[in-house]
Amino acid sequence: MRIRAFPLDANQASNRLCAPGAKQQGFALIITLTLLALLALTVFALSALNRVSAQIATIAVYQVQARQNALLGLHLGLGELQQQAGDDARLTGMAGLTGISALAGNSTRHWCGVWEQGTGAFVAWLTSGAQTTSTAAVQSGLSVVALVGPNTVGAPAANSEPSIAGKIPLWRTETAAAPGIATLVGNYAYLVIDEGVKITAYAPEALVRVAGLRPVLTSTVPTSAAGKLAAALVAYAGKLPSVISYEQLSLLPTPNTALTPSVIQDNFNHVTLTNRTLSGRDYFSGSLNLNTTSTIFWRSVLETYNTAPGVVPITSSNLTTKGNALGNGLAATNLGKMMNGPFSSPANFSAYLASVFPLTGSPTYIQIMAVLGPMLTVRSDTFRIRAYGEAVNTLATVPVEARAVCEAIVQRTPLAAPNGLGRKFVLINFRWLGPNDL
């Protein structure tokens, strides 16, 4: 029996394709393709997420390493300060004493130096990588970093010079990939800043050397950065006990012009919040360390004298001319000290002061010393330490993976330091700094 097949016409073919089974098979194919696409997208997203997470973890490790290196620099700076300046028989001052002039490019002028009190012999610069001689310079072959830069002191200028330090490399002597081969893993640096060669912005009355006499910042030029800050310190003296750092002085309102960032920056090298000095077991605030060549400091010293009751005042014009003369001539003089060296006592300073305020003038150096003598000192006990750390990946195109900078205010105390290193320094304030702080 023969079975004859008849071709389907168009309507029959359409009906067969639209049958329920055919519709389900087409829909299942679309769902399958969609799920495969989603699966591929999920795999790609997870892969990208893993890569990002790995990069974040690696960056975090480098950031921790950079901070650890900065803390290493801080502790080494504190240790160097303790070793070199813990003893009562040490003098401290700024590197300008050695003849470094007030110029924008002189980035070692505000280094902190230490000298022997008895002989005036140079001991050390409290800066990483510094030369061991009295010449303030970084050792050859070392990279440098500006630990006091434009965001701290503003655009480089006289009395607003930046301060650099040498970067000290950290080596790992052995790694799994290179056993027995030293590998650079980071750098550190530190800079110790002498806060005693600056004018104290806030001296608590209970701690001042001379009752009723506090240091004042020069205001001979009211429109200058010093003049603006001086006006704010006088007008808002009642708010100063609440200020906990020099940088917070920017929060003070002012009677005339706002304390813009540039005002705080321009005063950084010659103003501190509170400088405390030791005498026996007692603290005093507002002392004036003579071992500085800052003319703003010396004009402020003379204005401080003028605020004492009953004195023969220094005329306004002489406040500037004689203040500048004291600062500019101090390094080169051999009156009361060695040339390019520090004063060893306030009494020795009298010989130099007599060259600017002789007995034939008014006031005389004797009258000035009678008022300011108790406030004068030749060493400091309050210091600021800035420390830098960086983590290095020598296999990367840009080897420095992370940087960190910290800052501490340290204070010398009446307590005895271990190993016979004089009096113990303690940390009284600490903070991490960002790029905008340097």
- Reported as a single tens digit per residue, the pLDDT across 298-340 is 999 999 999 999 999 999 999 999 999 999 999 999 999 999 9
- Least confident piece of the model among 3-12, 127-136, 309-318, 346-355: 3-12
Q: What is the pLDDT of residue 21?
A: 57
Range of the domain at 333: 199-377
Q: Where are the beta strands (DSSP E) in 182-340?
A: 183-194, 199-200, 271-272, 276-279, 282-285, 288-289
User: Which one is predicted more confidently, 343 or 157?
Assistant: 343
Please check whether residue 17 lies inside any domain of the structure.
no
Inform me whether the pLDDT recorded for 58 exceeds 80: no
Let me know whether 59 and 185 are in one domain. Answer: yes
User: Which one is predicted more confidently, 395 or 15?
Assistant: 395
Of 326, 361, 377, the position where a domain reaches its end is 377
Please check whether residue 126 lies inside any domain of the structure.
yes
Let me know whether 249 and 346 are in one domain. Answer: yes
Mean pLDDT along residues 332-349: 97
Q: What is the pLDDT of residues 372-425, one digit of tens each?
A: 999 999 999 999 999 999 999 877 778 999 999 999 999 999 999 999 999 999
Please check whether residue 10 lies inside any domain of the structure.
no
- Give the Cα separation of 387 and 71 in Å (integer): 7
337 is written with which tokens?
């000290």
Residue 408 DSSP SS3: strand
Q: What is the pLDDT of residue 177?
A: 67
Residue type, 179: P
Let me know whether 63 and 183 are in one domain. Answer: yes
- Least confident piece of the model among 28-37, 53-62, 125-134: 53-62
Inform me whether the pLDDT recorded for 57 exceeds 80: no
Please check whether residue 15 lies inside any domain of the structure.
no
Mean pLDDT of the chain: 91
Q: What is the pLDDT of residue 55?
A: 67
Inform me whether the pLDDT recorded for 23 exceeds 70: no
Let me know whether 155 and 113 are in one domain. Answer: yes
Please check whether residue 31 lies inside any domain of the structure.
no
Let me know whether 373 and 384 are in one domain. Answer: no
Let me know whether 314 and 233 are in one domain. Answer: yes
User: How many domains, in total, are found in the chain?
Assistant: 2
User: pTM value?
Assistant: 0.88
Q: How many CA atoms lie within 13 Å of 210's alpha carbon, on the beta-carbon side?
A: 18
Let me know whether 100 and 188 are in one domain. Answer: yes
Please check whether residue 241 lies inside any domain of the structure.
yes
Q: What is the pLDDT of residue 32?
A: 81
Please check whether residue 57 lies inside any domain of the structure.
yes
Mean pLDDT along residues 83-96: 98
Mean pLDDT along residues 258-262: 84
Let me know whether 181 and 318 are in one domain. Answer: no
Of 356, 377, 398, the position where a domain reaches its end is 377
Q: What is the pLDDT of residue 2?
A: 54
Let me know whether 267 and 142 are in one domain. Answer: no
**Contact present, 407 and 385 (Cβ < 8 Å):** yes
| CB neighbours of residue 14 within 10 Å | 10
**Residue 345's pLDDT band (cuts 50, 70, 90):** very high
Q: What are phi and psi of 147, to 5 degrees?
A: -90, -15
Q: What is the pLDDT of residue 9?
A: 57
Q: What is the pLDDT of residue 173?
A: 77
Q: What is the pLDDT of residue 167?
A: 98
**Residue 256's pLDDT band (cuts 50, 70, 90):** low
Inform me whether the pLDDT recorded for 48 exceeds 80: no
Of 331, 358, 377, the position where a domain reaches its end is 377
Residue 429, strand partner residues: 409
Instruction: Give me the sign of the Cα torsion angle 373, 376, 378, 381.
Output: positive
Please check whether residue 73 lies inside any domain of the structure.
yes
Let me know whether 398 and 265 are in one domain. Answer: no
Instruction: Give me the sign of the Cα torsion angle 195, 199, 202, 203.
Output: positive
Let me know whether 217 and 339 are in one domain. Answer: yes
Q: Are strands 122-125 and 423-433 parallel, antiparallel or unpaired?
A: unpaired
Q: What is the pLDDT of residue 96?
A: 97
Q: Are strands 168-172 and 183-194 parallel, antiparallel or unpaired?
A: antiparallel
Residue 181, strand partner residues: none
- Least confident piece of the model among 32-46, 79-93, 352-366, 377-391: 32-46
Let me know whether 220 and 362 are in one domain. Answer: yes
**Residue 14's pLDDT band (cuts 50, 70, 90):** low
